[in-house]
Structure 1
């Protein structure tokens, strides 16, 4: 765990990070959706124009997550923390329908119909609506994914493994540099559905992992499982309003690590009525968000620059002039720190 750099205990910074993450609660869970804003998803048609065996394999995994009917329980493990969720995914004449219910911690539900996702927050009786594609596990690719072969070594291991009672083949993606983690994937042999994904350190150790513990695939999945367990009558409904922005024209010079490309730049409302700008960059598998918010002379005086690390998630926060800049992503700590420390704000640069 990294310490902050101004004498304020790291525990205090961690509390602030948790508050910030809570303020972003459903938006953070929809990070994959933001990654798809600016570019269309990589498609089978694109693969015909430029066939690549790595992308072809990963696209089968992506297609399985989007086109199959399945339901089950998966567990996300990060250090000593384990959180389980129940997922139901069906495809009918109206497109994709999905329900994710968090089984541990504060109750949360995510109801998705194609590009529209509702995040249910029962303790506040609030529904947050976001009209963006919300791919999550067992989906895999972010954006177009074309740069994946340039940034990762691909290897399919001999033999098979067994997850949730199903045979799966093991794929390893090893980073070609220090700006990203590696991944070990286990894809169902019969359907190519992703059954387990592990994030690997530079030394091959498992940083975090997500895996099905029970799973049904096919027409045995009842559509009744898509219904929410909450009666939301009378709940407040908020829709996330996002406006496209051009950070470079606004004077922001944000360096991208090699292999990462911007996929969206938006302004969105956040806590205390602030407008927060968000940049999302991705290499096709890993994603990094950069949040820029105004510095509040009344409420932010106790905050400081610093770093927080939890499993694969790393956060680095710094003050640049009259702004706070926060870089976060499931990438090495040095990657988000480098982005934050090298970012410059020159208001006249874009004029």
Structure 2
């Protein structure tokens, strides 16, 4: 059982007397889906800052959500259960994966957070007031150099995440999410989940990654079919999903909080830049890998430090069968 860690504040009342960091993490997971609310949040990644209006409802066991862009063009995303519809008339053709919000609305945040205490030190660090609600702050300090540190602000009555920071080992804030206006309420009518923007609609059904054992089995099957493998990955990052990648093949990994994906595809004739780039907490590392007479482009993208992304990319091994297939294309 986790030992309670109490905030060192002048007022030891309320949450500090009888609630541990583990309690709040366990409360946060269900709150992300099962709390009904509406509001506006900002999401900053590097020099890029965006805001979105959101209505979220848990109704008859189904999660419904409508996100409306507030800047950078018009558009909206509506989700009901595992079905997602996106309308972005000002953007032309887009990939749905690219515009579904990351950070606190990503799948990793909604997963069971109990295992993360193996990879992060969790402690209460204080209390605050944000968007009109009393909150507690929970710090998740990375225990190794392969992860970033997270600071979470959780609303006291529900455990809803209403602010978060992703920070480097040196304390630099790499990504920042925060509600600027928020109303936690069950009184949200059906009309708030209707699509109101005219434009081309893109639809997708989200997949459920299932249990840990299922993910491991799926990973083994996918790796066998794709004919490439990793000889190293950070401890605790387990197979979580299989993103699409055009002609390429990909596997995503998560430690329950952060996630990264590895893409392997034929390099083709076009010369691609290699090396690392970073936008906020998201690192993109690209390298070319040669197998026989064939070249492959390896891309690692996710919420991990550049040095870690490079180590993952350099651990990719391509089997002979994949090189043979590349020669046939």
The TM-score range, normalised by the shorter chain, is 0.7 to 0.9
Q: What is the CA distance between 1:231 and its match in structure 2?
A: 2.7
Measure, in 2, the Cα distance between the counterparts of 1:115 and 1:238.
Answer: 11
1:18-55, Cα deviation, whole Å (9 max, x unpaired): xxxxxxxxxxxxxxxxxxxxxxxxxxxxxxxxxxx655
Alpha carbons 1:138, 1:194 under 8 Å: kept: no
Alpha carbons 2:238, 2:254 under 8 Å: kept: yes
* Structure 1 position 153 matched with structure 2 position 113: no
Note the aligned Cα RMSD (angstroms). Answer: 3.0
Which of 236, 240, 247 is equivalent to 1:263? 240
Q: Residue in 2 aligned with 1:315? A: 284
Alpha carbons 2:86, 2:201 under 8 Å: kept: no
Residues 93-102 or 66-75, more deviating: 93-102
* Cα separation, partners in 2 of 1:81 and 1:135, compared to 1, 3 Å: closer
Measure, in 2, the Cα distance between the counterparts of 1:264 and 1:315.
Answer: 18
Q: What is the CA distance between 1:206 and its match in structure 2?
A: 1.6
* Structure 1 position 252 matched with structure 2 position 228: yes
Measure, in 2, the Cα distance between the counterparts of 1:149 and 1:236.
Answer: 41
Measure, in 2, the Cα distance between the counterparts of 1:236 and 1:225.
Answer: 18
Alpha carbons 1:125, 1:236 under 8 Å: kept: no
1:71-99, Cα deviation, whole Å (9 max, x unpaired): 00000122333210111111223611101
* Cα separation, partners in 2 of 1:107 and 1:293, compared to 1, 3 Å: farther
SS of the equivalent of 1:157 reads: strand
* Cα separation, partners in 2 of 1:135 and 1:241, compared to 1, 3 Å: closer
Which of 15, 22, 26 is equivalent to 1:59? 26
TM-score of the superposition, structure 1-length normalised? 0.72
Measure, in 1, the Cα distance between the counterparts of 2:282 and 2:236.
Answer: 19
Measure, in 1, the Cα distance between the counterparts of 2:229 and 2:274.
Answer: 19
* Cα separation, partners in 2 of 1:205 and 1:327, compared to 1, 3 Å: same
Q: Residue in 2 aligned with 1:296? A: 268
Which of 275, 278, 281 is equivalent to 2:250? 278
Q: What is the CA distance between 1:345 and its match in structure 2?
A: 1.0
TM-score of the superposition, structure 2-length normalised? 0.77
Segments of structure 2 that go 5 or more residues without pairing to the other structure are 1-19, 208-217, 323-329
Which of 283, 287, 298 is equivalent to 1:325? 298
Which of 131, 134, 137 is equivalent to 1:170? 137
Measure, in 2, the Cα distance between the counterparts of 1:334 and 1:72.
Answer: 37
Q: What is the CA distance between 1:138 and its match in structure 2?
A: 5.3
* Cα separation, partners in 2 of 1:175 and 1:168, compared to 1, 3 Å: same
Q: What is the CA distance between 1:134 and its match in structure 2?
A: 8.6
Measure, in 2, the Cα distance between the counterparts of 1:239 and 1:190.
Answer: 33
Segments of structure 1 that go 5 or more residues without pairing to the other structure are 1-52
Q: Residue in 2 aligned with 1:120? A: 87
Q: Residue in 1 aligned with 2:274? A: 305
Measure, in 1, the Cα distance between the counterparts of 2:22 and 2:184.
Answer: 24
SS of the equivalent of 2:158 reads: coil
SS of the equivalent of 1:195 reads: strand
* Cα separation, partners in 2 of 1:129 and 1:170, compared to 1, 3 Å: closer
SS of the equivalent of 1:141 reads: helix
Q: What is the CA distance between 1:224 and its match in structure 2?
A: 2.0
Measure, in 1, the Cα distance between the counterparts of 2:62 and 2:204.
Answer: 22
Which of 51, 69, 76 is equivalent to 1:84? 51
Alpha carbons 1:259, 1:283 under 8 Å: kept: yes
* Cα separation, partners in 2 of 1:221 and 1:240, compared to 1, 3 Å: closer
